[in-house]
Each structure stands twice: as structure tokens, then as C-alpha cells.
Structure 1
Amino acid sequence: MTSKPDRTPLIGQVVNDFATGRIGKVMDKVGPRYQLRRLDGGREWEAKGDSLEVVTPLRCDYIARLKAERRKAVEEGRTDAAHFLTVAICRHLRVMHP
């Protein structure tokens, strides 16, 4: 009798959710479903384990620059600029690194 391998090692991994076409980080497992969150934060969603595949995030100099600018804006209390940069990061990730 063969049992399915335990997939809890996915917690903390970056995965591609083929069912939704989104990339996210596995935050937890509740029953048979996994809780995922976008890499830039935001609301979690649920996914079945058979629709997930571990991916290696791309290192992107543009994203690194945007994140540094956002960090500086947050430290300086410029919330509008920080929000704008967060949106720019999300758009870049969605378009350039699907």
C-alpha cells in the first residue's frame, strides 16, 4: 500500500498556482488546501495541492530598485509615493514575470 507524500514542505515556498494563473508564497495548509499570498503581500487565496508547482523567483534589478525606492518613501512618511511604487511593483510582476 503506497501513501501520498506529505506536501507540507511547500509551506514557505514560492509556487505557481496553475488553477488561477497566479504566483504566490505558501503560507499554511488547512486540510487538503493551501493558503497562498502574493509575493508583494495582499489577501490570501486557497489552492489545491495538485495545482501548485514550486518556482524560483526571478532576480530583477528593476524590482530591486522599485523596492528600495518604496522603502525610502515609507521611511520618509511619503505614503502616496509608497502606494504608487507598490502598484508599480505589482504591475511589473504581473506583466514581466507571470
Structure 2
Amino acid sequence: MAGHEECGAYLYDPAARKVGEYRGQAGPYAMLRPLGGGREWQADPERVRPATPEERLSAGVRAANTLSTASYEVSRPPVPVPHCVECGDLARCRAEARARYDWSAETDANVLLRRHLQVGHPE
């Protein structure tokens, strides 16, 4: 782990082959928590690295799929809430995926945006 990571940073642990949210140090270990919650695990701080955008997106989709029990309209893309930074970021990811004809990444961004709307903007 190059430098000191801030709590909440997303790191990739090659030993566990997954992305985790950095929670702090515990002795010689970096403590990581799965995206979406769950049991923390110890990682070698010399081997973990910042997660790539693709790794973060993939881990976020897995977490959203695990947590999702909602039924929603999937035939229409979700509409981001104006002036919400996270909505804007996910909409941008979706637009970039669409521009490069990456339908899987576009679907992933839609899943994450729906989950964010459900949790962050309930109505």
C-alpha cells in the first residue's frame, strides 16, 4: 500500500482476489471490509493496491445484487437526481460505457444507479 490510505478508500487485495473498503490498521495488517458490508478481513498492506474503476464497479454491482430485493422497472434506464454527485458519477459511467458500446458496463452502471436511488433518494 503506497503511502497512507484514508478510511473508506477502495483497495484490491490480490490474496483474497476482491475489493474492500479500507477501515484502518490492526497491528501489521490492513483491515478491509467487503463493499455493501460484511465481515472484515486482514490484508497484507504491502500487497494491496488502489482498486481500478472497473474493479470498483464490478464489486459494487456484486454488492448491489446481493442486497437488492426490490422489484423495479428494468426496461427503462434510471434517471439520476439533479445535483447529486453520486448520481452524476454513475450517469457519466453509464454514458461512457454506452459511447464505447460496452453494454455490460452500461447495465452495471444502471444497477448501481438504481441501488443508489433506492437507498440515497427514497420517495
Name the TM-score, length of structure 1 as normaliser: 0.56
Partner of 1:17: 13
1:61 to 97, 110, 113: 110
Q: Which runs of 4+ in 1 moved over 2 A?
A: 5-12, 56-59, 66-69
Q: Is the CA contact (8 Å cut-off) linking 1:23 and 1:38 kept in structure 2? A: yes
1:47 to 28, 39, 43: 43
Distance in structure 2 (CA, Å) of the matches to 1:16 and 1:47: 10
Distance in structure 1 (CA, Å) of the matches to 2:6 and 2:47: 12
Say how many residue pairs are matched.
69
Name the TM-score, length of structure 2 as normaliser: 0.46
Runs of at least 5 residues in structure 1 that lack an aligned partner in the other structure? 77-98
Distance in structure 2 (CA, Å) of the matches to 1:66 and 1:6: 32
Identity of aligned residues (%): 26
Runs of at least 5 residues in structure 2 that lack an aligned partner in the other structure? 58-89, 91-108
How big is the alpha-carbon RMSD for the aligned residues of Structure 1 and Structure 2? 2.7
Distance in structure 2 (CA, Å) of the matches to 1:30 and 1:52: 15
Larger fraction in strand: 1
Q: Is the CA contact (8 Å cut-off) linking 2:22 and 2:33 kept in structure 1? A: yes
